[in-house]
Structure 1
Amino acid sequence: MLATAISALPVGAGWAYEFKWDGVRALIDVSDGGVRIRSRAGNDVTGGYPDVVAQVAGAGDALFDGEIVVFVDGRPSFERLQARMHVRGRADVTRLVGEAPATFVVFDVLRRFGVDLTERPWTERRATLERFVAEHEGWTLSPSFDDGPATESVARQHGLEGVVAKRLDSVYRPGRRSDDWRKLRFVRAGDFAVIGWEAAAAHPATLSSLVLGVVTDDGGLRFAGKVGSGLSGRTAALVKGLLVERADPPVTDAPRPMTGRLLHWVEPQVVVEVEFAAWTGDRRLRQPVFRGVRKDKRLDEARGDG
């Protein structure tokens, strides 16, 4: 279930408020057959997070929703998590578990002992989850509050990503973006499709910036700008390795290459997260900063609104 982006939190007796964690959304299925971790895109990412598997093993039959988070000095660090998101080799995974240990922050339960809970109201699912966490050590429960403005104030003071408001009577709608869940994000950021990459003519094989696109209401793509800030040498090489080149641009409003720059077009298959200050009048990104590749996001989610 996905939340709708908002600019101000709803208030009233019918809402609960949770912190928005700067991590990777995941469903964790625990059964007699073991533990399986799935990303939002439905990919099995179990092998990348043995520390999370160890954390949740032995829970009995259940299906949990939450975020995989790497904490640094008590705060979520997407930058540190990014280093783990695309690594699957056993030796590298083991090394990163030591360098950037991950935690599963659970905020919902969708099945317990074979019973589907998705049609139960949020309050009932939350009570079931709270009882479970109280009876099982080692679990991190996302706290819930009944005061929206106070929750927002605390989240801002502690440098968190935002706040999610949830209707108390809302059922869980798998795979759907619902107005029953609403997210207020403090830092303006969004998801974008990579439609090309640029290099300096003097270094033609080195990626210096990404050309970005967003999905339009009719399902097409339009040019949204470029991002180079935040792309270190190692990160740029990693992203470049994910791109599949093509001869023509995948958008009709493609930019022309600048003098001294080489422009490569790619299949719009890779989704990245980018922070930015604002949209310009011609709907281009202002002061964008690359945050990371989002393998947990589909192309149709690359709409620039996070």
Structure 2
Amino acid sequence: MFISPMLLETASGPFSHSEYIYEPKVDGHRLIYSQQSGNVRLYTRHNNDCTRQYPELILPFDDNIILDGEVACTDPDTGLNDFEAVMSRFSTKQASKITQLTRMLPATFAIFDILHYKGQDLRNLPLMERKAILHGLTLPSNSFGIVPHIEGAGEELYAQIEAMGMEGVVGKHKNSQYISKRSKEWQKVINWSYADVFITGYKKTEFGWLAAVPDPSGKMRPAGVIEHGPNSKHKQAFLGVCRQLITGEDEKHVYLEPRIRARVKMRNWTNSGLLRTPVFIDFIL
């Protein structure tokens, strides 16, 4: 049984409030765990069945249950969540490769909410009552964990998260019911990283600016595509300048001299040197 998950609004910045609890934001992908009559199924937030990709999580609880959380992999060297590792797990469909990756990149289900249990729909209970039920569960193995939380001290937790290089903080109203849509009762504060890049082209058919950064020799290397952030004035200013900088084109892109610089925020750098989810902030003049 799949339940569409409750989604987060984005807070303007770290905040503290006595009526909120705060959790570290797990850097993985959303997972709905459903056990009905002993049969376990795993679903992404978009109702894609991913049960076969995570055999270490196909373990039963003591009764019918539906849980919400994130599936994540941990980098053994840093102790931080490795988003690329969990994406590798998620995208693998071949049975022998899944078995291999289960050993090499073990996944953990980090649980933060309980939606159904023992035939009861718990979604209308206040969050703190659901948390109490969740913390009373016996977990089936070390591949399962419950996301910790603190009360009130959101800014203090964010400072710790920022210092450790983790993804961010989630603030949740203590009395929030579980609703299958985006809600201000749950808010995220992302620990963004920042970079200065050159815009070296743009997509022809949909919006996207090609970003590049200089490598150690000074040559430009691709760093990803900026698809979020600029407003209509930014886009208009870009079009006014870029016509003079065109160096060529292909079927999908127009290429530019690396003259336009921009400041972006992002989740982090990927292992292959790309910006992860870059958001345009402003041009650098």
Judge same fold: TM > 0.5, yes or no: yes
Q: 1:51 to 1:165 in 2, by over 3 A?
A: same
Aligned-residue RMSD, C-alpha: 3.6
The correspondence for 1:121, drawn from 126, 129, 148, is: 126
Aligned counterpart, 1:5: 10
Tell whether the 8 Å contact from 1:18 to 1:144 is kept in structure 2 after alignment: yes
**Residue 226 in structure 1 maps to residue 214 in structure 2:** no
Q: Percent identity?
A: 27
For 1:223 and 1:163, locate their aligned partners in 2 and report how far apart those are by CA, in whole Å: 30
The two structures have a TM-score, normalised by structure 1, of 0.65
Aligned counterpart, 1:44: 49
Residue deviations 1:96-131 (CA, integer Å, cap 9, x gap): 111111100000000001100111110100000011
Unmatched tracts of structure 2, length 5 or more: 1-5, 195-200, 214-221, 223-237, 254-262, 267-272
Aligned counterpart, 1:193: none
**Residue 166 in structure 1 maps to residue 152 in structure 2:** no
The correspondence for 2:90, drawn from 85, 90, 93, is: 85
Aligned counterpart, 2:233: none
* Letter of the 1:277 counterpart: V
For 1:106 and 1:278, locate their aligned partners in 2 and report how far apart those are by CA, in whole Å: 28
Residue deviations 1:56-108 (CA, integer Å, cap 9, x gap): 42342100000000011321011222222211110111111111111000000
Tell whether the 8 Å contact from 2:114 to 2:122 is kept in structure 1 after alignment: yes
The correspondence for 2:157, drawn from 147, 151, 154, is: 151
The correspondence for 2:111, drawn from 92, 106, 119, is: 106
Q: Deviation of residue 44 (structure 1)? A: 0.4
Residue deviations 1:218-271 (CA, integer Å, cap 9, x gap): xxxx61423578xxxxxx9xxxxxxxxxxxxxxxx9999953442338xxxxxx
The two structures have a TM-score, normalised by structure 2, of 0.69
For 2:61 and 2:175, locate their aligned partners in 1 and report how far apart those are by CA, in whole Å: 30
Residue deviations 1:195-228 (CA, integer Å, cap 9, x gap): xxxxxxxxxxxxxx99499xxxxxxxx6142357
* Letter of the 2:69 counterpart: G
* Letter of the 2:173 counterpart: R
Tell whether the 8 Å contact from 1:109 to 1:129 is kept in structure 2 after alignment: yes
Residue deviations 1:15-58 (CA, integer Å, cap 9, x gap): 000000110001000122421000011110111111222xx423
Tell whether the 8 Å contact from 1:228 to 1:290 is kept in structure 2 after alignment: no
Superposition pairs for residues 1-306 of structure 1, below 5 Å?
1-53=6-58, 56-73=59-76, 74-133=79-138, 138=142, 139-146=144-151, 147-174=153-180, 176-187=181-192, 211=203, 223-227=207-211, 259-264=247-252, 277-278=264-265, 289-291=274-276
For 1:115 and 1:152, locate their aligned partners in 2 and report how far apart those are by CA, in whole Å: 35
For 1:113 and 1:64, locate their aligned partners in 2 and report how far apart those are by CA, in whole Å: 12
Q: Deviation of residue 155 (structure 1)? A: 1.2
Residue deviations 1:174-207 (CA, integer Å, cap 9, x gap): 1x10000000001269xxxxxxxxxxxxxxxxxx
For 2:110 and 2:204, locate their aligned partners in 1 and report how far apart those are by CA, in whole Å: 31
For 1:114 and 1:137, locate their aligned partners in 2 and report how far apart those are by CA, in whole Å: 23
For 2:40 and 2:66, locate their aligned partners in 1 and report how far apart those are by CA, in whole Å: 10
Unmatched tracts of structure 1, length 5 or more: 190-208, 214-221, 230-235, 237-252, 266-275, 280-287, 293-302
For 1:155 and 1:290, locate their aligned partners in 2 and report how far apart those are by CA, in whole Å: 20
For 1:304 and 1:101, locate their aligned partners in 2 and report how far apart those are by CA, in whole Å: 34
* Letter of the 2:126 counterpart: P
For 1:93 and 1:291, locate their aligned partners in 2 and report how far apart those are by CA, in whole Å: 25
Q: 1:261 to 1:96 in 2, by over 3 A?
A: farther
Tell whether the 8 Å contact from 2:202 to 2:208 is kept in structure 1 after alignment: no
Aligned counterpart, 1:232: none
For 2:246 and 2:42, locate their aligned partners in 1 and report how far apart those are by CA, in whole Å: 44
Q: Deviation of residue 168 (structure 1)? A: 0.3
Q: 1:112 to 1:86 in 2, by over 3 A?
A: same
